Structure 1
């Protein structure tokens, strides 16, 4: 079951595991992490306008010494004027073409006045221009997919969604719709049952499946994602974990009974948040908020300083150098 490729509905192929450079790495350089992922064997790199990691991804690809054709690069539209923002993404990546371009979210903040339908039609123009080999969506529910179907001449090739055993029942209609229309599903944050909700009911069947293979629970969870026919999008800053993820491709697939046991356990939802879990989440959000606030404050200080210099030196007839 070595990780291979999946054929999209437009005939292009896509690797079935991707290294993500998502919001976890916002405000941080990911050049080293992406370079390590490439060295470990990842060829599918996932980024986005909102992540602010496109330049780092481009740098890591250029410095790898590998050919552009060795990579599958995904990025996402995050708001603004579609054509303009797409060109910014290409420039940031240092590429003439991306392999996959997605609408990141179907929210008003992202799609703006054009809405889901109008934004999708702009992506079709990008695909027709040859600057994106494939186009798709992310975080789309049934209503959003149906809106696209009503006006599109190109069916989305991919829908990237948040998927794990605890929300599988909720997301099943989306999975079924995508299967019916040959839309490949990608899953991000599939490790949430382990990283955010440890000690929940899915731990038991995951641990059993892992033990039978001499694998980790993380690997067993990725085997579950793979069993659903879903592409894995994951991330890490350490080589050890990157190699652990890629090794899933060499493990024995889950049996139907094992998949069913994980599905059943997931129906109960994640465990009730403990005080410790809530404290960890609050601390994580607080640290992120402080970082973002610091950047905003610094920007405002620089703006005020610039205006002050302009006012003082302008009045005195002196020139600010």
Structure 2
């Protein structure tokens, strides 16, 4: 059984798993990776202007030979004039419209949120983006946006895993109350970057019962929270593993609770500073990348 689409507040639907082209594909030719994802069964491709690979994502879309309406494409705004930014993204992708257009980071609109969102609304009205939304917004930032929005954001894409669940609960609840779908990236960090922590055991226990992998259990846990998934891999077997999550039975309530409680303890102490520094580095790299792509 394939992953089900989830309804958005604007009447459109969002595939509940996406192939992401950030991380290892940041600034790289993403053609082969996206082609592999599409061949494996992914129909939702997530990219961004800041990743510097929209042109190669576009190559893969064309090479797939699939009708446009069989693919769902997300890209993200990285600052500057909105109309120019989306037109540039569409030209690189070789598309007439994207299915979802997101503000990549809230700091991009700290001083001009209303003006930028008005341009997003105009892009939607013009058919350049079927749905519009945000990424990495917290509750306060969503509240600011909803006060001035004529069209609500359909999606908020955030970093979300068992170790961030406790601090994200208020955000998830606020988004759900306002009809905003939460989309998660980085959900596998507890096993890829922070192994040895408290969530390892409940993940392993559930994986044993389901004859699954810990990564698949994390994705079942993410879905149990009403959150949809962005993931990536360069390996076909891993991509197949992720898509097979749709065929697994649900987690037991006790298993979800065990993961929640373990996650609330936080990642191993020895790497918390590493994660903090990593987050700071990501923000710096994001800012530098904006400057770099503006110069070439």
Return the TM-score normalized by structure 2: 0.91
Q: CA deviation at 1:113?
A: 4.2
Q: Distance in 1 between matches of 2:16 and 2:7?
A: 10
Deviations 1:27-68 (A, max 9, x none): 211100100000000000000010111111111111011101
Q: CA offset at residue 165 of structure 1?
A: 0.6
Q: Quote the residue 1:27 is aligned against.
A: 27
1-structure distance, mates of 2:55, 2:238: 24
Residue aligning to 1:12: 12
- Residues 5 and 14 in structure 1, CA contact (< 8 A), matched pair in contact too: yes
The answer to whether structure 1 residue 252 and structure 2 residue 249 are counterparts is yes
Residue 122 of structure 1: how far off its partner (Å) = 1.3
- Give the root-mean-square deviation of aligned CA atoms: 2.4
> Which residue in the other structure is 2:229 paired with?
232
Deviation at 1:117, TM superposition (A): 2.4
Aligned to 1:308: none
The answer for the alignment partner of 2:101 in structure 1 is 101
Q: Is 1:111 aligned to 2:109, yes or no?
A: yes
Specify the alignment match of 1:47 in structure 2: 47
**Whole-angstrom distance in 2 between the partners of 1:95 and 1:65:** 13
Q: Distance in 2 between matches of 1:76 and 1:177?
A: 22
Q: Give the alignment partner of residue 176 of structure 2, picking from 166, 176, 179.
A: 179
Query: Is 2:194 the partner of 1:197?
Result: yes
Separation in 2, partners of 1:14, 1:267? 29
Matched, 1:266 2:294: no
Deviation (angstroms), 1:111: 2.3
- 199, 208, 211: which one aligns with 1:211: 208
From 123, 126, 129, the counterpart of 1:129: 126
- Which of 120, 135, 138 lines up with 2:135 in the alignment? 138
Number of aligned pairs? 287
Structure 2 gap ranges (5+): none
Residues 20 and 45, structure 1, Cα contact 8 Å, conserved in 2: yes
Which residue pairs with 1:74 in the alignment?
74
Answer whether contact 1:105 1:140 (CA < 8 A) is retained: yes
Q: TM-score, normalised by structure 1?
A: 0.84
Structure 1 position 274, deviation (Å): 5.5
Which whole-Å CA distance do the structure 2 matches of 1:118 and 1:169 have between them? 33
Q: Distance in 1 between matches of 2:234 and 2:61?
A: 17
* Offset of residue 2 of structure 1: 3.6
Please identify the structure whose Cα radius of gyration is greater. Answer: 1
1:168 is aligned to 165
Report SS of the residue matched to 1:273: helix
CA distance in 2, matches of 1:184, 1:274: 30
In structure 1, list runs of 5 or more residues that go unmatched: 301-321
Please tell me whether the aligned partners of residues 134 and 157 of structure 1 are also in contact (alpha carbons under 8 angstroms).
Answer: yes
Deviations along 1:261-312, whole A, 9 cap, x unmatched?
Answer: 100111100001259x959x98xx7xx98xx99xx7xx99xxxxxxxxxxxx
Distance 2:271 2:12 in 1: 45
Does the 8 A contact of 1:117 with 1:147 survive in 2? no
Whole-angstrom CA distance in 2 between matches of 1:259 and 1:200 = 16
Equivalent position of 1:149 in the other structure: 146
Contact 1:79/1:112 (<8 A) preserved: no
